Amino acid sequence: MPKLILIRHGQSQWNLENRFTGWWDVDVTEKGAAEAKAAGALMKEKGIHPAIGFTSVQTRAIKTMNIALEEMGMLWLPVTKNWQLNERHYGGLTGLDKQQTRDKHGDEQVHIWRRSFDVPPPPMEEGSPFEMANDPRYAGIKVPRAESLKDTIERVLPYWESAIVPELKAGKDVLISAHGNSLRALVKHLSGISDEDITGLEIPTGQPIVYDMAGDLAPGERYYLADS
């Protein structure tokens, strides 16, 4: 039965600096690269052999995929990149320091912006230095001004259904390298987590999460590869 393996990218420069990141394209740190390498070593040790990979179009997820695959001796793996696996768009919070934002707006408001199901952060202003709409990778795509988790789910799931499910149906093991909130979107769907309970789910960086899919593609329990 096919396996689905999910990895959140290794620590990014803005994870380290504690800044809201979203669609802004930051790289992994040295620690993040080491996390990706360790994830690859673990997958190799546990006999994980994906037949296809998927990532977002963001450097931190792509690098994590490549570093892990290199460690597995599988840099040849066909990998598809798609913006629908991007991190949730952080709107007007992009680039701000998370602690300074808490000091200014209060813990509760920041928690709502970060973890509520359907409250989006404030929209990104026109002319923001963190605007990505003119980046060539988003040509022809309506770049959002901000996204809630619900908005993120609404663009992750169509891609999951149209591009990824068919590969699992064909019996292929699939590796996805993505982001804290695009993976929360997917895990919410796969594990049937309620709108309320998803607010408490955190996905750590660089830790492969596995679903063993049943014959009818019902996802089994999810588990950390390190614990198996």
Q: Check binding of 152 to ligand 2PG (CB under 6 A).
A: no
The DSSP secondary structure of 98-124, one letter per residue, reads: HHHHHHHH-HHHHHHHHH-SS-PPPPP
Would you say 137 and 24 are in contact if contact means Cβ atoms under 8 Å apart?
Answer: no
- Rounded to a whole number of angstroms, the minimum distance from the CB of residue 180 to ligand 2PG is 4
Nearest in space to 191 (alpha carbons), one of 39, 22, 4: 4
- Rounded to a whole number of angstroms, the minimum distance from the CB of residue 119 to ligand 2PG is 13
Closer CB to ligand 2PG, 116 or 191, in the complex? 116
Residues in 159-188 that interact with ligand 2PG by CB under 6 A:
180-181
Would you say 155 and 148 are in contact if contact means Cβ atoms under 8 Å apart?
Answer: no
Q: Which three-class secondary structure state does DSSP give residue 5?
A: strand
Instruction: Please choose, out of 20-28, 68-76, 77-85, 212-220, the segment that lies near ligand 2PG by the rule CB under 6 A.
Output: 20-28
Q: Check binding of 54 to ligand 2PG (CB under 6 A).
A: no
User: Which DSSP symbol is given to 194?
Assistant: -
Question: Binder to ligand 2PG among 11, 21, 55, 64 (CB under 6 A)?
Answer: 21
Residues in 61-120 that interact with ligand 2PG by CB under 6 A:
87, 90, 114
Closer CB to ligand 2PG, 20 or 211, in the complex? 20
Active site residue 9: yes
Question: Binder to ligand 2PG among 20, 54, 159, 211 (CB under 6 A)?
Answer: 20
Q: Which three-class secondary structure state does DSSP give residue 7?
A: strand
Q: Check binding of 130 to ligand 2PG (CB under 6 A).
A: no
Q: What character string, x for contact with ligand 2PG (CB under 6 A) and - otherwise, covers 185-214?
A: ------------------------------
Residue nearest to ligand 2PG (CB): 21
User: Which DSSP symbol is given to 227?
Assistant: G
Closer CB to ligand 2PG, 52 or 153, in the complex? 153
The strand order across the sheet containing 52-55 reads 79-81, 52-55, 174-178, 3-8, 209-213, 219-224
Rounded to an integer, what distance in angstroms lies between the CA atom of residue 58 and that of residue 66?
Answer: 12
125 alpha carbon, distance to own chain's centre: 24
Q: Which of 17, 49, 71, 87 is catalytic?
A: 87
Active site residue 105: no
Q: Is 13 annotated as a binding residue?
A: yes
Rounded to an integer, what distance in angstroms lies between the CA atom of residue 15 and that of residue 218?
Answer: 33
In the block, residue with structure tokens 């290199």:
70
User: Using CB under 6 A as the criterion, which residues of the chain lie in contact with ligand 2PG when the complex forms?
Assistant: 15, 20-22, 87, 90, 114, 180-181
Residues annotated as catalytic are 9, 87
